[in-house]
Amino acid sequence: MKATLLLLLAISFYSCVSGKIVKARLESCPGCSLNRLHEVRKFAYEDLPMYEGVEWKKISGAPPELVFLDENDKEVERYFLKELSRKECNGLLQQYGFKQKSKEL
């Protein structure tokens, strides 16, 4: 698991430096497998809306995948979230340079 996370972080760092990735999209069924993946479900429903440049494409029956896109909406990277924790899902977005929206006062 640690080796997988390190590989994800290395790939993420390279992609951030190269400037290719500008958007991200969660592709997942809003129920189905998310109901069994409590950490990923919390990420999808509670954390994902807080990020700028990130959307959720709800696809019936689809397993949760995080897709990183370039400025032409072309897929650059895709990650299965099934085995990741909520913290790791957030870390993946942050490693690609995505920031949470600022809270309005």
- State the pLDDT at residue 11: 63
Mean pLDDT for the stretch of residues 1-29:
73
Examine residue 15 and state whether it is found in any structural domain, yes or no: no
Per-residue pLDDT at 5: 64
State residue 32's pLDDT score: 82
Is residue 40 very low, low, confident or very high in pLDDT (cuts 50, 70, 90)? Answer: very high
Question: Is 105 within a domain?
Answer: no
The answer to whether 62 touches 18, Cβ cutoff 8 Å, is no
What pLDDT does residue 23 have? 97
Question: According to the model, what pLDDT value does residue 104 have?
Answer: 61
- CATH code at position 43: 3.40.30.50
Residue 102 lies in a domain: no
Q: Per the domain annotation, does 84 fall within a domain? A: yes
The answer to whether residue 39 is domain-embedded is yes
- For residue 29, the enclosing domain spans 20-95
Quick check: is 1 in a domain? Answer: no
CA proximity to 91, closest of 32, 31, 4: 4
Decide if 7 is inside a domain. Answer: no
Give mean pLDDT, residues 76-81: 97
Tally of domains within the chain: 1
